Amino acid sequence: MWLKLGDSEIINLDYISTIKKNPSSNAIEIIYNDLNHIKSLPFRNPEERDRAYDAILENLSRMKLFFE
């Protein structure tokens, strides 16, 4: 499955281990299966980060329901 990140990037979820909010910065971290590669998505403030994280979770939930 693929996840769209913004207007210019998508990621293949088959290679992703974890998607999480970084509590020490205004970023969302995408950790790949090998655990050595981490993509950090920076945001201007915690509110923007939280909205984006919630949108990612909502999209993943919709995809799960679609495939069930």
Q: What pLDDT tens digit does each residue of the chain (68 aa) get?
A: 888 877 888 888 889 999 999 989 999 999 999 988 999 999 999 999 999 999 988 988 887 777 77
The pTM for the full model equals 0.80
63 part of a folded domain: yes
The set of residues, in sequence order, having a beta carbon less than 8 Å from that of 52 and lying 6+ positions away, is: 28, 41, 43
4 part of a folded domain: no
- Domain with 44 in it: 15-67
10 part of a folded domain: no
9 part of a folded domain: no
Phi-psi region of 12 (alpha: psi -120 to 50; beta: other; left: phi over 0): beta
59 part of a folded domain: yes
Note the pLDDT of residue 50.
Answer: 95
Note the pLDDT of residue 20.
Answer: 95
Note the pLDDT of residue 31.
Answer: 95
Residue 47's alpha-carbon distances to 9, 21, 36, 39, 54, in angstroms, are 22, 12, 28, 20, 11
Count the domains in the chain. 1
58 part of a folded domain: yes
